[in-house]
């Protein structure tokens, strides 16, 4: 794929008629989201990361939360109606989602998993998410994101 090529996430948003902006940045390997936000001068509160978890029943869930926050596993489990969830191992990200660590978007995974977006996303006109590969970000309205995903908003951070 060319450096600034479209990702699955971008194609899906276009197909659904969802307005978004793309920002590309130079990055060859995984760098955590805090460093990227610092490098690009972006606000931590409106920059979101995507985490994938699994329940004891084997069901997978996606959690989208501010980059400087930690996922509260008990709140996350409650939000999806499970007794417990745990984050998947890094080596499981690509086979499960089709995305690599640092480039995982909640939009365009191999399979659409139920997604919970931290309720603070609703405070912003636009939030920043991974664009589906390292070096690409999506800027979009969180309410538009809700139209694309099977999701809900909830308090999921510590």
Q: Where are the domains of the chain?
A: 15-154
pLDDT of 4 reads 67
pLDDT in tens, 42-99: 999 999 999 999 999 999 999 999 999 999 999 999 999 999 999 999 999 999 999 9
Q: Give the rounded percent of residues in the chain with a pLDDT score beyond 70.
A: 96
Burial class (CB within 10 angstroms; exposed 0-12, middle 13-18, buried 19+) of 15: exposed
User: Where does 15-154 sit in CATH, by number?
Assistant: 3.90.960.10
Nearest residue to 128 (alpha-carbon basis) of 115, 118, 141, 116: 141
């Amino acid at each position: 794929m060319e450096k600034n090529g479209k990702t699955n996430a971008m194609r899906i948003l276009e197909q659904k008629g969802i307005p978004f902006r793309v920002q590309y940045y130079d990055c060859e390997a995984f760098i955590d989201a805090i460093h990227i936000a610092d490098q690009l001068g972006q606000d931590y509160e409106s920059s979101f990361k995507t985490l994938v978890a699994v329940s004891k029943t084997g069901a997978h869930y996606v959690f989208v939360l501010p980059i400087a926050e930690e996922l509260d596993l008990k709140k996350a489990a409650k939000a999806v109606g499970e007794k417990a969830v745990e984050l998947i191992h890094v080596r499981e990200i690509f086979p499960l989602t089709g995305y690599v660590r640092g480039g995982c978007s909640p939009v365009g995974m191999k399979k659409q998993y139920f997604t919970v977006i931290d309720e603070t996303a609703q405070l912003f006109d636009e939030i920043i998410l991974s664009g589906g590969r390292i070096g690409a970000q999506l800027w979009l309205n969180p309410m538009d994101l809700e139209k694309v995903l099977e999701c809900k908003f909830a308090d999921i951070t510590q």
